[in-house]
Amino acid sequence: MTLQTYNEVPLPAFLYGTAWKKEATTRLVELAVESGFTAIDTANQLIHYQEALVGEALVALAEKGVTRESLFLQTKFTSAGGQDHRTPYDRSADFATQVRQSFESSLQHLHTDHLDSYVLHGPMTRRGLTPGDWEVWAAIEELYQAKKTRIIGVSNVSPDQLALLCAKAKVKPMVVQNRCFAVLGWDHQVREICAEHDIVYQGFSLLTANQEFLGAPPIRAAAARLRTGIAQVVFKFAMQIGMLPLTGTTDVQHMKEDLAVEKLDPLTAEEMESILAIGL
């Protein structure tokens, strides 16, 4: 299945996530691309990401013949509440200036003149959208309208926040990236809003957020039938419900196994139903 945003930008089937990789970021991004990943997810947030080291990997890959055009690059704007003292912008500046400064910093880090996807890392509060959130989103919309990024999106968002953004934004998000919990029906409320608005849902922490369910009988049985691993069943399930999964594996063999998921035989309707209900 080929995913496409509502503004007709084709998306890869899998994203390689670079959070928490620290000084290993450069090596792991190179390994991921050499293993077959064509899409990299990062953020301009030094607490959890090393965006500049992703850029170093891209330079090394370019020297090996991997072109910028062959890669899908996604990064994020993180507001001051999600940063430490090392903000990639002037935190005393207005929100629109912060977004522009962070975006330009990301372009420099990633050695590119445009992004494929630019994502708001999360609203400033857990409930509702603040005036600051709307200022940030308007600045992100401007980057999209100026064709500096092909798509825009939002991460770490609640159903209510997403519904509000879709209702009132000048340009609604093309992608949503959330931590995906089985106990919430694999984030079914947010996924329903995404389906209603033709937004592509990106799921992260599909394995780490659901450790207690990975050994569940329906997943084990599907893995045995398909002669594959538990992780691969979860990723196949995610793809079949229309999700774009992220993996952050540091193991080369797992990278290859994850990429092979797309070619696995489909899960049956019964298997899909059982896995959907696992955490409920």
Has residue 262 been placed in a domain? no
229 belongs to a structural domain:
no
**Residue whose token pair is 């090393």:** 50
Answer yes or no: is 266 within a domain: no
Per the domain annotation, does 221 fall within a domain?
no
User: Any idea what the CATH number is for the domain that residue 41 is in?
Assistant: 3.20.20.100
Please give the pLDDT value at position 1: 62
pLDDT at 152: 99
CA distance 153 to 15: 15
How much is the pLDDT for 280? 87
- One digit per residue, pLDDT tens: the chain, 280 residues? 689 999 999 999 999 999 999 999 999 999 999 999 999 999 999 999 999 999 999 999 999 999 999 999 999 999 999 999 999 999 999 999 999 999 999 999 999 999 999 999 999 999 999 999 999 999 999 999 999 999 999 999 999 999 999 999 999 999 999 999 999 999 999 999 999 999 999 999 999 999 999 999 999 999 999 999 999 999 999 999 999 999 999 999 999 999 999 999 999 999 999 999 998 8
Per-position b or e across 11-39, b if 16+ CB within 10 A of its CB:
bbbbbbbbbebeeebbebbbbbbebebbb
> What one-character-per-residue DSSP string does 124-180 give?
SSSSS--HHHHHHHHHHHHHHHTTSEEEEEEES--HHHHHHHHHH-SS--SEEEEE-
Report how far residue 196's alpha carbon sits from residue 246's, in angstroms, rounded to the nearest whole number. 22
Nearest to 24 by CA among 6, 60, 49, 46: 49
What's the farthest any 2 CA atoms get from each other in the chain? 57
Query: Using an 8 Å Cβ cutoff, are 156 and 178 in contact?
Result: yes
Strands 10-11 and 3-4: antiparallel
CA distances from 219 to 67, 146, 176, 194, 222 (A): 38, 45, 26, 25, 5
CA atoms of 164 and 122, how far apart (whole Å): 14
Residue 236 is predicted with a pLDDT of: 98
Tell me if 252 sits within 8 A of 220, measured CB to CB. no
Q: How far apart are CA 98 and CA 190, in angstroms?
A: 28
What is this structure's pTM? Answer: 0.97
Closest CA to 32 of 75, 63, 65, 71: 71
DSSP designation for 242: T
Is position 70 within any domain? yes
DSSP string over 179-239: E--GGGTTTHHHHHHHHHHTPEEEEE-TTGGGGGGTT-HHHHHHHHHHT--HHHHHHHHHH
Q: Which residues pair with 189 in a beta bridge?
A: none
Q: What range does the domain containing 183 cover?
A: 11-211+243-250
Whether 5 maps to a domain, the answer reads: no
Any domain includes 119: yes
Whether residue 188 is contained in a domain is answered as: yes
Q: Number of structural domains, the chain?
A: 1
